[in-house]
Structure 1
Amino acid sequence: MNKTLFEYCKKHLRTVNQVQLKANASLKTLAEKYSIGFIDVHTNLFHFNARDKQHLIEVVAQELNGIRLSDPYPSKQSRTEVAQRQRNEKIGALKVSEDFVLLNSRQSLCLNNHITPNSPLTALGHFICATEIETIEHSYIVLVENLIVMANLSRLNIPEQLQDALWIYRGDAQPHKQTGTAYKLFRRFATTHKLVCFADLDPSGLQICLTSGARQWLSISNKSQIAMKLQGIENEWHKQGSARSFLNNFDQLPAYCKSLFAQMEETQTTLKQEHILQHDLKLELFPLI
């Protein structure tokens, strides 16, 4: 996907789940080359829905090595690469933090055929240059929404398959914790590893799982626990209207995802990863396809 088409999709299609637009060259390319949306020949309108959006996300990630529509087009290089030819190493370069991802495991990191033992102290993990990672000797890779999980892997009540998994922190909106590099690394191993997403149990968390590129979802075994009695007022369900709209318009939600979303809607409650940790809730793997 070239930069022109990428930038058009980023501007006009990234934040919508359903839209009709007057057909132009970019939209014709989407429909004809990628089978994303369709053009009504009678009205010359391009029709785009939530299923098309999911397909667009997958195409962008596949063609641009894990890039998301919220990321910059992949044209920048690291500062050391720029320094090879420029006196000013910052010209057209990535920020230093954009090269790095936070990784952790319960036992030790197994990357590039090398074993790195974990610290005996409680730690968030290892901040590593993603472009230097060539191989991952962990069968499962788990993308994590919240930083608190990274320091508490030993407390998670997880299935046996994930005991030796590699955990990646997805990052957040802050510049020094941006998500792009984590997603790129995660999706780079889609054909060779088992990709899992672990997010909050709220509409935004479900949206993250469905658009992450993961094939499996780590979630609570007993969905009724989402309505556990806690002090205070539930705010997250009501604040996440955009994510609820995404899920309502998503074509063929995976069975457990659909069931859990219905439970949220019925009780208008959500559950954070901090609750899962503190209450030692049992977790299982569920398909996202």
Structure 2
Amino acid sequence: MNKQLYDFTQDKLQKSRQGGQIKNSVLTTKLYEDYNFGQFDLSKQWLSFSLENILALSEEIKSSLGVDIRHDAYPDKQSRETNAANNRSEKDNSYAVSKDFILINSLSKININQKSLELAPLTSLGIYVKADDIITIEHKTIILVENLAVMANLSALNLASHAEELTEALWVYRGDIKKQQHTGTAYQFFRRFEHHKRVCFSDVDPKGIEIAITSHADYWLTIKSIDEYINTLQELKGTEKEWFEQNLAIKFLQRTLTEQQEKKSDWQNIFTVGCQRQKTLKQEHIVAHKLALTLLKLS
């Protein structure tokens, strides 16, 4: 799938995550013909597609491009080393060198590829490593972190009853959302180790919950006490803006809850309180207020 069709399809899937319709166009027809995606109506004006179609397409694209079309950026650029094999300019159509690398950290030692790496005694964000070079991880738990500031403040987290387990975990920064620093590499790395216990630590707001759910994590690391959550929201000063910019995430969570019907999600109480207060709580707030954390099951 080329980048033009990939971006077109991703835009439609993100707007209709459980299924929907796409108005016919050259790209719509190509999506239907090349990938057997959806079904046209009799007049061929609209292409209807279901969640089953989305999942099937996602698996097909993942097998060919190694990315999830629902969330990941198109891997359209090559490394400088690959380009240099055939082109005089190694920079042409090359992605940033940092794209191959991920930032990892730990509260103890970093144990990868059957080796133990000692961390510097000074406060640091961790170490950058080439994701593809990591073959094995000798940590039972891997934690995907939404915000960079957390990586330098792991020791300040109030891990409460999970302290022993999470102290031994490998923490991975998900990457910047800026175009030059795609999150795709960290996500692909995180999803690759499916036999480990996978945890996502994200903001306490609709987008943060969505990130946790769609990351393929087994658990969401989040605030333990609803009362502490409410009190902290009340203490924070200033005008709330971000909550009102997260309508798509709110709708996604509402649909998710509707589809689960009688089964109550562990994160539902936090989402409900957030909707009542219409305020976000960032990871930086969690660190600054030393809020106790717990693990909520996602799947």
Classify the TM-score, shorter chain.
Answer: 0.7 to 0.9
Cα offset, 1:168, TM superposition: 0.9
Any residues of structure 2 matched to 1:47-62 within 5 Å, and which?
Answer: 47-48=48-49, 55=55, 59=59, 62=62
The separation in 1 between residues aligned to 2:189 and 2:86, in whole angstroms, is 27
Post-superposition offset of 1:121: 0.3
Structure 2 unaligned blocks of 5 or more: none
Instruction: List aligned pairs for 1:20-31, cutoff 5 A.
Output: 20-22=21-23, 24=29, 26-27=31-32
Kindly provide the CA deviation profile for residues 64-113 of structure 1, in whole angstroms up to 9, marking residues without a partner as x. 43445454433543212322333221234322111111111111211212
Of the structure 1 ranges 131-140 and 90-99, higher mean CA displacement relative to structure 2 is found in 90-99
The change in CA–CA distance for 1:288 and 1:53 in structure 2 (over 3 A counts) is farther
Q: 1:106 to 1:43 in 2, by over 3 A?
A: farther
Percent of aligned positions that are identical: 38
Of 2-11 and 155-164, the range deviating more from structure 2: 2-11
State the Cα distance separating 1:226 from its structure 2 match.
Answer: 2.3
**1:169 counterpart residue number:** 173
Counterpart of 1:167 in structure 2: which amino acid? W
Give me the whole-angstrom Cα distance separating, in 2, the residues matched to 1:176 and 1:22. 32
Query: Any idea what SS the aligned residue of 1:171 has?
Result: coil
The answer for the alignment partner of 1:281 in structure 2 is 291
**TM-score when scaled to structure 1?**
0.84
- How much does 1:146 deviate? 0.8
Q: How far off its partner does 1:55 sit?
A: 4.0
Does 2:281 align with 1:268? no
TM-score by length of 2: 0.81
Give the AA of the match of 1:59.
E
1:127 alignment partner, SS class: strand
Using the TM superposition, give the Cα deviation of residue 14 of structure 1 relative to its aligned residue in structure 2, in angstroms.
2.9
Equivalent pair of 1:54/1:211 in contact (CA under 8 Å): no
1:85 alignment partner, SS class: coil
How far 1:48 sits from its partner (Å)?
4.9
Cα deviation for residue 234 of structure 1 reads 3.1
1: CA distance between counterparts of 2:249 and 2:117? 38
Match of 1:14 in 2: 14
Give the corresponding residue for 1:237. 243
Secondary structure of the residue aligned to 1:14 is helix
Q: Deviations over 1:207-237 (max 9, x none)?
A: 1111111121111111232222314233332
**Superposition pairs for residues 19-98 of structure 1, below 5 Å?**
19-22=20-23, 24=29, 26-27=31-32, 39=39, 45-48=46-49, 55=55, 59=59, 62-63=62-63, 64-69=65-70, 71-74=72-75, 76-98=77-99
Q: What corresponds to 1:196 in structure 2?
A: 199
Contact kept in structure 2, 1:227 and 1:270, CA below 8 Å: no
CA distance change for structure 1 residues 196 and 118 in 2, over 3 Å: closer, same or farther? same
3-state secondary structure, aligned to 1:244: helix
The question of whether the paired residues in 2 share the 8 Å contact of 1:220 and 1:281 is answered with yes
Q: For the residues of structure 2 that align with 1:78 and 1:274, how far apart are their CA atoms?
A: 34
CA distance in 2, matches of 1:79, 1:97: 11
Query: In the TM superposition, what whole-angstrom CA distance separates every residue of 1:238-258 from its partner, at most 9, and x where no partner exists?
Result: 232221122122232861222
Secondary structure (helix, strand or coil) at the match of 2:211 reads helix
Structure 2 residue aligned with 1:121: 122
| Structure 2 Cα separation of the partners of residues 200 and 57 of structure 1 | 30
| Matched residue SS, 2:198 | strand
Determine if contact 1:79/1:96 at 8 Å carries over to the other structure. Answer: yes
Compute the RMSD of aligned alpha carbons.
2.9
Alpha-carbon contact 1:108-1:115 (below 8 Å) kept: yes
Number of aligned pairs? 281
State the partner residue of 1:222.
225
